[in-house]
Amino acid sequence: MRESVASLTVDDSDPRDPSARCDRCGTQGTIARAIRHSEPLEIFRYCINCWPAAQEDLERRQTQELNEYHQAWRAWDSERLRDPKRERPKPPAPWSGNSRSWSDVQRFLELITAKLEEIPRTTPPPFPEIAAEIQATAAQMVGHMPAEVAEFLAKYLPPSA
């Protein structure tokens, strides 16, 4: 495993694994990977069909882990004067994920354009850079490019010299 425990949340490496089996349905050939940076690492791989549902499950699990941590922290915080030896709860292990699913690119674009348009800036938003990054992995993506993504690329991709 090359995945490093030190690099959290950002996972730029290619998540595709043609020999791996999907953790949900057992199909060979996966396009998405999620890593729980615990000790030991937990690594999940999914095929294109299972990824949307798997992603929802994983997001629910992360939210639950965070909620449990907040509850444990509040309990610790209210008890620590009475019980100074009480152990401080540990935050949950961070997650990272990456896929070659167009729906994730589309979701990312919606989030990033909304974010970038709402903050006041002195320079134009880095849409050409984002477009170039999407274009760089386009050949590795599974299925057809969504119309919204194609429009974004047509609008912002720097003309090739």
Question: Do 32 and 52 meet the contact criterion of CB atoms below 8 Å apart?
Answer: no
Question: Do 20 and 36 meet the contact criterion of CB atoms below 8 Å apart?
Answer: no
Q: How far is the CB of 21 from Zn ion (least distance, A)?
A: 8
Question: Do 153 and 131 meet the contact criterion of CB atoms below 8 Å apart?
Answer: yes
The verdict on whether omega for the bond into residue 84 sits within 30 degrees of 0, i.e. cis, is no
Q: Which is closer to Zn ion, CB of 27 or CB of 113? A: 27
Q: Return the residue of 5, 25, 43, 111 that touches Zn ion, per CB under 5 A.
A: 25
Binding segment (CB under 5 A) for Zn ion, from list 15-23, 75-83, 96-104, 116-124: 15-23
Q: Return the residue of 15, 16, 20, 22 that touches Zn ion, per CB under 5 A.
A: 22
d(CA 32, CA 40): 20
Q: Which residues pair with 30 in a beta bridge?
A: 17
Q: Return the residue of 24, 112, 116, 156 that touches Zn ion, per CB under 5 A.
A: 24
Contacts of Zn ion in 44-103 (CB under 5 A): 47, 50
Query: Which parts of this chain interact with Zn ion (CB under 5 A)?
Result: 22, 24-25, 27, 47, 50
